[in-house]
A = this chain, B = another copy of it.
Amino acid sequence: MLIRTSADLGAVIRDRRKRLKLDQASLAKRIGVSRQWVIEVEHGHARAELGLVLRALDALDIRLDASTEQTKSRGSEKPAVDINAIVAKAKKSKT
C-alpha cells in the first residue's frame, strides 16, 4: 500500500494488527510503548515519533520501501542538465 499520510500508516498498522489477532495492549508491549500510543497512531497521529513508528512496523513485519519512481509528475522533476546552475553562471559572467 502507498503511504501518503499518517492516517494511511495508522490504517496499515491496525489492519495488520487485527490480521495477526493481536490486541492493542499486546502490540504495545511488543513495540515497547504504551497502549495509548498504539491507539493514537492507529488513529493517524501525525506527530508520533518516527523511531517508534518504525519499531511498530517491524513488530508487525511490515516492510517499508522508498522509491523515486513516480506515476504522477508534478512539474519539473529531473532536469537532465542543471539549468539553474547554467543560468546562474550566465548571470555572473554578464559582460
* A contact residues vs B (CB 8 Å cutoff): 1-6, 9, 12, 16, 19-21, 45-51, 53-54, 57-58, 60-70, 74, 77-79, 82, 84-85
Contacts and interface: CB of A to CB of B under 8 A. Distances in A.
10 contacts: A3-B64, A4-B54, A4-B64, A21-B79, A46-B49, A48-B50, A49-B50, A61-B70, A62-B67, A65-B66
B64 A16 contact: no
Contacts of A1: 65-67
A77 to B, nearest CB: 7
B66 A70 contact: no
A27 to B, nearest CB: 14
